[in-house]
Chain A
Amino acid sequence: MGKAFDFTLILEFIPTLVKYLGITLEILFFSIILGILIGLVAAIPKIFKIPILKQLVTIYISFIRGTPIIIQLFLVYYGLPALFNLFHIDLSRVDALYFVIITYAISNGAIFAEIFRGAILAINSGQTEAAYTIGMTPSQNFRRIIFPQALRIAFPNIGNSVIGSLKDTSLAFTIGVMDMMGRGETLIASTAHALEVYISLSIIYYAIVIIIENIFKVYERYLNRYQPDEISAV
């Protein structure tokens, strides 16, 4: 397939593809922010063992975990317009980008819900009791005592999810979103240099992942500042 390998094309492709990084980061940013909000809300029924809601959240989480993201993407892309059609609302002109963001937000939400639940339950109840005995309310306790510490515990997992999510955005092109991957596909169609395109894409994705990882590491060190020395030194 394709033409003879041409190394110099990579240097040519990278700048072309990077121009579409903005779309990729846009998908990532909004799906993470919305995912965190969904995750916080979805974690509540399980933490406080609220009947019915708890079961619903469990089904949601297990469904997301049990199905490939690309299928979730198609379900949303075809399912949402079908659903809105029932109410005579036409979604056919809505930008495919929004379907991508919605899908990834729902998917991240399920993962974040589990991360948050684990992190919150990991904080010993003694601190909550101490907060109550000095007269703090449950919401003050959550905001000032539990949440900051849960964040530290959840942080490495949040970092992994962000990176995983970045890589998942490369599936957005399947419903016609012109992100880096989408642009790469059109480059292949027009130049027939598939390998050079994919090498260029992998270099860009890899570089972004390294940058994100390092940002997370710096913040993780800050969050660990109050840990016993052997942990905070890592």
Chain B
Amino acid sequence: MNKRAIGVKRMIEITNLKKNFGPNEVLKGINLKVNKGDIISIIGPSGSGKTTLLRCLNYLEKPDEGIITIGEVSINARKVHKKDIYTLRKKSAMVFQSYNLFQHKTALQNVMEGLIVVQKKNIKEAQEIATELLRKVGLEHKTKAFPSHLSGGQQQRVGIARALALNPEVILFDEPTSALDPELVGEVLSVIAKIAKEGKTMIIVTHELNFAREISDRIIFMDNGVIVEEGSPKEIFVEQKEERTKQFLKRMVPELDYSI
């Protein structure tokens, strides 16, 4: 974080975010601040609420309580207007675990869709932007391929290009590699690492702890609907203070034991 210590700008602010599914309290009052350009990784056991937190950030899931601010857009869950949700969604983009590409559109059309429908760009301009983005994720030779004809890793890279297309201020990744065969994980992680270097604000939910450690400015450890501990990769992976964090890391990476 200190590399951007001068002139930091707040990008995201989450205040007292709560979400229940029926009797199940999934988020129990999350508070989080993210500066512009920060790379945040969220780690934690299954069911701890990581996906729900990301989904609340773009109102795919409506929180029960709390204020979400991205850039200059702020929504209080108590009084939400449809219009606010659209403005909030335009601030961020999401990369899904299961890619969620539009199956009837080619790789290029998937990336162009938002440019044409949401940003109302003309086809030629949208095509240029989309082609450039597919080149960036290493898929310039697959622009005309349909998702069902691409490997998981290629589909996810299209998903990333689609997320980048609208030039959002924040990109949310929900376990972008966990649906992939192990040999395809690398190609996706390296694309994410490349984008990370370009100064986009990113929140990544991941079980790839080594990757999180390498690229993140800050690690958030969640368990049971709360943020248990947060800090630099070193603070979380090496000098963690909370017992729950220790236990989780021990289970995830037994070989990290020596550093405790």
Chain A: residues with CB nearer than 8 A to chain B?
124, 126-127, 129-137, 140, 144-145, 148-149, 152, 225-229
Is B117 part of the contact surface with A, judged by Cβ < 8 Å?
A: yes
Q: Is the CB of A135 within 8 A of B100?
A: no
A-side contacts of B105, CB under 8 Å: 226
Is B223 part of the contact surface with A, judged by Cβ < 8 Å?
A: no
Q: Is the CB of B101 within 8 A of A140?
A: no
Partner of A127 from the list B103, B117, B149, B165 (CB cut-off 8 Å) is B103
Partner of B60 from the list A124, A132, A136 (CB cut-off 8 Å) is A132
Cα-based distance from A227 to B147 in the complex (angstroms): 9
Q: Is the CB of B93 within 8 A of A134?
A: yes
Q: Please, which residue of chain A has its CB at the minimum distance from the CB of B115?
A: A134
Partner of B92 from the list A130, A133, A225, A228 (CB cut-off 8 Å) is A133
B-side contacts of A229, CB under 8 Å: 149
Contact A132/B117 with A225-B146, A229-B149 known, Cβ cut-off 8 Å: no
Partner of A130 from the list B86, B100, B149 (CB cut-off 8 Å) is B100
User: For B58, B96, B100, B146, which residue has the most chain A Cβ atoms within 10 angstroms?
Assistant: B100
A-side contacts of B58, CB under 8 Å: 132-133
16 residue pairs of the A-B complex, CB under 8 angstroms, read A127-B100, A129-B96, A130-B100, A130-B101, A130-B102, A131-B102, A132-B60, A134-B113, A134-B162, A134-B165, A136-B114, A136-B118, A137-B86, A226-B104, A226-B146, A227-B146
Query: Interface on chain A toward B: helix, strand, loop, or mixed SS?
Result: helix
Cα-based distance from A135 to B88 in the complex (angstroms): 9
Is B210 part of the contact surface with A, judged by Cβ < 8 Å?
A: no
Chain B: residues with CB nearer than 8 A to chain A?
58, 60, 86, 89-90, 92-94, 96, 98, 100-106, 113-114, 117-118, 146-149, 159, 162-163, 165-166
B-side contacts of A126, CB under 8 Å: 96, 98, 100
CB distance from A228 to the nearest CB of B (A): 4
Q: Is the CB of B104 within 8 A of A149?
A: yes
Q: Is the CB of B117 within 8 A of A149?
A: no
Q: Please, which residue of chain A has its CB at the minimum distance from the CB of B85?
A: A132
Q: Is the CB of B146 within 8 A of A134?
A: no
A-side contacts of B159, CB under 8 Å: 130
Q: Is the CB of B104 within 8 A of A133?
A: no
Q: Is the CB of B96 within 8 A of A228?
A: no
CB distance from B36 to the nearest CB of A (A): 20
Cα-based distance from A145 to B105 in the complex (angstroms): 9
Cα-based distance from A152 to B103 in the complex (angstroms): 11
A-side contacts of B96, CB under 8 Å: 126, 129-130
Q: Is the CB of A149 within 8 A of B86?
A: no
Q: Please, which residue of chain A has its CB at the minimum distance from the CB of B87?
A: A135
Q: Is the CB of A129 within 8 A of B60?
A: yes
Q: Please, which residue of chain A has its CB at the minimum distance from the CB of B86?
A: A135
Q: Please, which residue of chain B has its CB at the minimum distance from the CB of A133?
A: B94
CB distance from A147 to the nearest CB of B (A): 10
By Cβ-Cβ distance, the 10 closest A-B pairs, closest first, are A134-B114, A126-B100, A226-B146, A130-B100, A135-B118, A133-B94, A228-B148, A135-B90, A226-B104, A149-B104
CB distance from B75 to the nearest CB of A (A): 15
CB distance from A190 to the nearest CB of B (A): 54
Q: Is the CB of B102 within 8 A of A145?
A: yes
A-side contacts of B102, CB under 8 Å: 127, 130-131, 145
Q: Please, which residue of chain B has its CB at the minimum distance from the CB of A137?
A: B86
A-side contacts of B106, CB under 8 Å: 226
Cα-based distance from A164 to B146 in the complex (angstroms): 34
Contact A135/B114 with A129-B60, A229-B149 known, Cβ cut-off 8 Å: yes
A-side contacts of B92, CB under 8 Å: 133
Cα-based distance from A124 to B103 in the complex (angstroms): 10
Cα-based distance from A124 to B4 in the complex (angstroms): 41
CB distance from A159 to the nearest CB of B (A): 19
Cα-based distance from A181 to B66 in the complex (angstroms): 69
